[in-house]
Structure formats: C-alpha cells, structure tokens
Amino acid sequence: MTETEFHPKHELIREERFPHVWCPGCGLGILLQSYLNALEKSGIPSENNVLVSGIGCTARLPGYANLDSYHTTHGRAIPFATGMKLANPNLNVTVISGDGDLFNIGGNHFIHAARRNMDLLVICSNNFNYGMTGGQHGSTTPPTSKSASTPYGNIEPSFNLPYLASALGASYVARWTVMHPRQLTRSIKTAMDVKGFAFIEVLSPCPPNFGKFNGFGDGFEEMEFYRTKSVVQNDAKLEDISIDPFHGKQVVLGEFVKRKRPSYIMLEQELTAKLKEGRK
Amino acid sequence: MNLLPPGRYFADGNFAATEGAILAGCRFFAGYPITPSSEVLERMSSRLPEVGGHFIEMEDEIGSMAAILGASNGGVKSMTATSGPGFSLMQENIGLGMITETPTVVLDEMRGGPSTGIPTRVGQGDVMQTRWGSHGDLAPITYSPNSVQEAFDLQIEAFNAAETYRQPVFVASDQVVGHLTEMLEVKKIDEYDIVQRETRKVRNGSDRVFDYSNDFIPMFIAGTGFRGNVDSLTHDEKGYPSNEASVEKEMLEHLLNKVRKNEEKIVKYEEFLVEDAKLILVSYGITSRSAKQAVKEARKEGLKVGMFRPITLWPFPEKRIKELAERSKKFIVPEINYGQYSHSVREYGQSETREVHFPPGAVPDYKIILKEIERCFA
C-alpha cells in the first residue's frame, strides 16, 4: 500500500470502523473533519483530547476519531464530561452531540454546565429533529415545519441556542453551518483555548428526515438553503437570532460571545490553594 | 493527607460512610441533597478539598451518577450517596457503569416508599432495586450494613469490590444506620486492605479495550494515550458497537461471569446460633438487630432458633442458604417492606419461608418477630 492510499487524517480516525453509519448528504462527516483539522492546528497533543457524546447520530462521531472516546447515555454526556474534567483538569474534554441529546433530554445539564462556566467545549450538531429514530420533532424544530411527529406543522416555538448559552454565562458562543467548514474549523480551534464553557452550534442537514418532510430534494439542497439564507453577523443581537427560515428569516451565524469570566476549574483551584494556605 | 486519625469515635453512620470512603481512596463525589443521606454530601464537601479530592453538587441524581462514572474513567475513585427517589433516577447510568466496566460506589440509604414516601424514616424497599433496578441482565454486588462500624468498614469493602470487579457497587444502607450514633473504631490505615486501581496506560500492539476471556482486565484512563472507545452500546473487545447476538452473548456473559464465578470470594454473612436451629431468621440491615433480639428471647423460651445475616445481599449467599435449608427446613424473613428478599430466600432455599412485613417508618419491634417464631413452634 502506498502512502496515498491512506485517508489524509488516517492517524486521527479509526479507519477500520468505516464506512460510517451516516446517511448520504448528512453533514456529520464535515463536522468530524472540521474538528480533526482544528485539533491538528491547535497543537494540543491529540492524546490529551477526550471526546464524550450522548446518544443519536451525532453521538456516533467520537467513535470514528482515534482519540479516547466515551459514548454515554442519552442526554448525559455533559455531566459525564464534567466528572472527567474535574478528575483530571489537564484533559481537553469536548462534548459532541446532537440537538435532541443536548437540549431535549439533556437540557438541564447544559444550563447548569454553562452557568458553572465548566471548562468544557460543547459542539451541538443541530439538524432540527431526532434523526436516528426517524425524524420526530424536538425543541429545536423551527415553527410550522413538519416532522414525523408534527404532521400538521410544529406549533411549538423552538430554542434559540446561542441566546440561551449566552444568557447562562458561557465564555464562548458561536454558530455555523456545515457549509462553512473553514469558519467552523477556526471557531473550534479558538474554542479549544477558552477557559470555561464554550458552545458551538452547527447547523447540519438531515436529508431522509427533516429534509424530506420539508420539501428538500437531497442533502445538498438543504445545505444550499441554509447557505443562501445565512448571514455572518458577529455582533448580532442574540435575542433576534432564532432559526425560522421558512418565514423568510435569515439564519444568523458568527462568533457571538467571547467573554472572560472565571471558570469553574479556576475557582476550584483558587479555593484549594486558599485552604492549603490556611493550614500552614 | 488528613485522613481520620485512628481511634474510637462516637459517630453516626453518615460520618462513618464518608470517612470510610475517603480512607478507601475516594477522591471524587458528585451528589444531590436527599434525606437521609445529605450529611454524606455535606461532609464530602468539606473533607474532599482537604484531601486533594473534588466535590461537586450536581443538578440532579442523573447527572451525579454520570459524573462519578466520568471521574472514574478520568482516573479517580468516585462515589455518590442518595436515597430511593434519587436511586431510581440513577438506574440508567448504573447500567452504563455496568456495560462500560467502570468502578464506582453508590450508597443508597433506604427510606419509606414508593415515590417520595416517608423521607425521614427507615425502609428496606430498595433491595430488589439494587438487584434488578437497571434494565438488562446484571450481576450486582450489594452490601448491607447494620451498624455505624459496618457503615465504615463496608464502604471500604465496596470500593475494593468496585475496583476488583470493575463495576458500580452498591451499599444498601438505611435511614436508621445513617443517623444512628454509636461507637466507631478506626484502625491505622496500614491495617486495612485497600485495592489500588491497576491501569493500562499505553496500548501495546493489539491491546484491546476489553478482554472477555479475562475476569480481571485493568482499565485504561482517559488522556493517557490509549485511544480507546468506551461505549454504552453492546460492544466487542475493541470497544466497538455491534448488533450481533454473538457479540452480545460474549460481552454479557463476561459481565455476569466475572461476578458469578467469584461469588464465594464476594459473599459475606454472619451467623448467630444456627448450629442446632430448627428455624432460621434471615435478616439484613437494621432489621437484623431486632431479629437478633427476637432470637435471644426465643432461646430463653427454649426454642431452637438462629439467625443468618447476609452482609452482601447480592450476590445471593446461595450455597450457605441451601446448606441451612437442608438442616433446619424453615426460614422467617422479616423486612421493612412487604416481601422482597424473602422471594430469593424461598427460591434458593426451597423450604418453607415465612414473611414478616413491617411498614416503612420504624425499626421493627422484635416482639412481632418473636410472635412469628412462637407460631412456628406451636
């Protein structure tokens, strides 16, 4: 075998596990590639990076990376990652999971980890529905759109994730689509250096489910729709950037929040140091 | 290091369980306040920072259970403490600990149930939940302390078992043991056997994440260069998910057999006057102290009664119960529930097994047990 026959990222992926489980036109391959590119560019030794996920299509992503990977239970990646990070603060712990996992069943853990400014990077692939179980609606499904469980159109308002994360005090908040791989890669690399809670939302197509239910021909058509609807606006007013593309609203992307706020690990280490001094 | 100095303490069970855990090497606690175990969480919050550990009060018991598994995979011995409602919330992630072979300890202080029940009063309604609580097949290990001394000693044993068998281990204590104040003797640390965790730091050639032919395969720790996949899905020895029934069989039989094959080493019990007994009380936890009193009173009346106290509820002390059944033919199982452990005594003993039910809310009155003994001899 010549060198060219290897995948360009063969050292960072588990080649023996391919082909992956994702559908044609899915955006998760781009997210995996973007994450691995960011990891390479960060200069952080790859063995120091740990990936944690919950359950769902996105939660399969860590299993394809040649890193220590933990595929946990539905919605519980963040608390699992929290325990791991506290046990060994030198680790770079990244949670990569889907919108259903992180914000429907796991929403409680997200709000508390962000409030604590826990030193984690959380990347949410948002495809607006539960892909693995057949395209049911969730808390991120845009208003009036159709899904396997909203056949007459969704009557619920949906989460505005960057606004939520910012309100909770996250140190870093961004939103991209998989049609913006360069910006996404830069954003992930930036977030890897953030002290505290970093959150990146990545919009991604789900052709056989959300795409099909809402009239998109294939994955590319859905991606192209997000791309043409997208505008990068780093200083956007976050309360205005909910996702509602079916009523003419633009999808606002960007790096919205970069703030310095003491992280949980910093405060814990301060506390421990004070205790030690007090005992001298 | 700030360990509890050796000596005699007048202490309660929650103090004892906390200090036992720290002596056993616990350096991570995640929990959610719940009566009657909150004092464990409170003491951990002050003690762990003193001994170089980490404490976090989580948003719920689901997160607490997930966090202690994460911490254990991060290389630190961990535990949580809870009671019935919290223990119910932990069940899914207890299964995650089982399938990923992650050592950790869950202290469940039983109170009245179902649901919110009687938070401040004793119950024994979770014993089957420690056996079958999480879905799928399990081979759990559950300790049942009946004193402050055992709350300390068994907490250490639970950590040792968790590390040895690489799975979450339960201590099914109760409200009375948690809040009871009595004498506690703490020995010098070198007089305790503490199982230190063995790990595989770097993958050697074909090293696999799991080894289904080996009951005791050391785990790898996150961030040490192993590059392993740890999965809640049924997985092969590489740690990769599989839908194959043959892989499920191989993985599951490994998970069950590592405990089943070593039952004789794990099982602990205490016996009281069983040698000549025609009737044996099988009693565990705080109830065993009433049962013992009933045996003493019955003996004064000349009734040949003894007591068998399982210290490990699970694995079930099958071999010994069968031997006792051959000899005495009759069991009474008093419990602070409406018949739980009695089912297993009947199943394994294949003998007449009477139940004495106590509603949650109080320590059983020995006279009620004594009456049942007298009825058996009448």
Are A22 and A57 in contact, with CB atoms under 8 Å apart?
A: yes
Residue B329's pLDDT band, with cuts at 50, 70 and 90, is confident
Distance (Å) from the alpha carbon of B80 to chain A's nearest alpha carbon: 12
Query: Which candidate, B362, B7, B4, B47, places its Cα nearest to that of B183?
Result: B7
At B140-168, the pLDDT tens digits run 999 999 999 999 999 999 999 999 999 99
How many CB atoms sit inside 10 A of residue B354's CB? 18
Are B55 and B33 in contact, with CB atoms under 8 Å apart?
A: no
- CATH topology (fold) of A3-279: Rossmann fold (3.40.50)
Are B358 and B338 in contact, with CB atoms under 8 Å apart?
A: no
Q: State how beta strands B312-314 and B305-310 pair.
A: unpaired
Are A210 and A223 in contact, with CB atoms under 8 Å apart?
A: no
| Bond preceding residue A89 cis, omega within 30 of 0 | no
Distance (Å) from the alpha carbon of B94 to chain A's nearest alpha carbon: 10
**Average of per-residue pLDDT across B248-275:** 98
Distance (Å) from the alpha carbon of B48 to chain A's nearest alpha carbon: 10
Are A72 and A80 in contact, with CB atoms under 8 Å apart?
A: yes
Question: What is the residue extent of each domain of chain B?
Answer: 7-191, 270-377
How many CB atoms sit inside 10 A of residue A271's CB? 11
CA dihedral (A36, A39, A41, A45) positive or negative: negative
Distance (Å) from the alpha carbon of B233 to chain A's nearest alpha carbon: 8
Q: Closest chain B residue to A55 measured between Cα atoms?
A: B232
Q: Closest chain A residue to B99 measured between Cα atoms?
A: A72
Token output for B79: 């535990």
Q: Is the pTM of this model over 0.95?
A: yes
Residue B200's pLDDT band, with cuts at 50, 70 and 90, is confident
Pick from B228, B232, B240: which is nearest to A73 by CB? B232
Angle between helices B61-73 and A77-87 (to 10 degrees): 50
Contacts of A70 in chain B (CB under 8 A): 70, 73, 100, 222, 230
Q: Which residues, at least 6 apart from B202, have a Cβ–Cβ distance to it below 8 Å?
A: B224, B225, B226
Residue B205's pLDDT band, with cuts at 50, 70 and 90, is low
**C-alpha to C-alpha distances, B53 to B16, B29, B81, B286, B314, nearest whole angstrom:** 18, 8, 16, 31, 30
Q: Could you give phi then psi for residue A175, rounded to 5 degrees?
A: -140, 130
The reply to whether residue A79 touches residue B58, judged by beta carbons under 8 angstroms, is: yes
Q: State how beta strands A92-98 and A49-53 pair.
A: parallel
The reply to whether residue A88 touches residue B56, judged by beta carbons under 8 angstroms, is: no
Are B248 and B234 in contact, with CB atoms under 8 Å apart?
A: yes
Size of interface A-B (CB pairs under 8 A): 140
What is the amino acid identity at position B29? Answer: F
User: What is the pLDDT at residue A4?
Assistant: 61
User: What is the pLDDT at residue B118?
Assistant: 97
Three-state DSSP at A71 gives: strand
Domain spanning B7-191: CATH superfamily: Thiamin diphosphate (ThDP)-binding fold, Pyr/PP domains (3.40.50.970)
Pick from A68, A91, A109: which is nearest to B63 by CB? A109
Query: Which candidate, B325, B322, B312, places its Cα nearest to that of B267?
Result: B312
- CATH number for region B270-377: 3.40.50.920
Stretch (H or E) spanning A278: helix A264-279
- The beta strand positions in A19-81, using DSSP E, are 49-53, 68-71
Helices (H), chain B: 13-23, 38-50, 61-73, 84-99, 129-132, 148-165, 175-179, 245-260, 263-266, 287-300, 318-328, 341-349, 366-377
Total number of residues shown for chain A? 280
- d(CA A71, CA B303) in angstroms, rounded, equals 58
At A26-58, the pLDDT tens digits run 999 999 999 999 999 999 999 999 999 999 999
Interface test with B, best of A13, A47, A76 (most B CBs within 10 A): A76
Share of chain A above pLDDT 70, in %: 98
CA B270 to chain centre: 16
Distance (Å) from the alpha carbon of A86 to chain B's nearest alpha carbon: 7
Token output for A16: 């023996």
Query: Which candidate, A79, A112, A115, A118, places its Cα nearest to that of A97?
Result: A79
Are A109 and A75 in contact, with CB atoms under 8 Å apart?
A: yes
Q: Could you give phi then psi for residue B197, rounded to 5 degrees?
A: -70, 130
Pick from A68, A80, A86: which is nearest to B69 by CB? A80
Three-state DSSP at B90 gives: helix
Distance (Å) from the alpha carbon of B258 to chain A's nearest alpha carbon: 22
- d(CA B308, CA B328) in angstroms, rounded, equals 12
Question: pLDDT in tens for each of the 280 residues of chain A?
Answer: 455 678 888 899 999 999 999 999 999 999 999 999 999 999 999 999 999 999 999 999 999 999 999 999 999 999 999 999 999 999 999 999 999 999 999 999 999 999 999 999 999 999 999 999 999 999 999 999 999 999 999 999 999 999 999 999 999 999 999 999 999 999 999 999 999 999 999 999 999 999 999 999 998 999 999 899 999 999 999 999 999 988 989 999 999 999 999 999 999 999 999 998 886 5
Contacts of A275 in chain B (CB under 8 A): 49-50
Q: Which residues pair with B308 in a beta bridge?
A: B271, B282
Contacts of A272 in chain B (CB under 8 A): 49, 52
Q: Could you give phi then psi for residue A106, rounded to 5 degrees?
A: -105, 10
- d(CA B319, CA A74) in angstroms, rounded, equals 39
Interface test with B, best of A71, A85, A96, A111 (most B CBs within 10 A): A71
User: What is the pLDDT at residue B201?
Assistant: 76
Query: Which candidate, A171, A278, A176, A155, places its Cα nearest to that of A231?
Result: A176
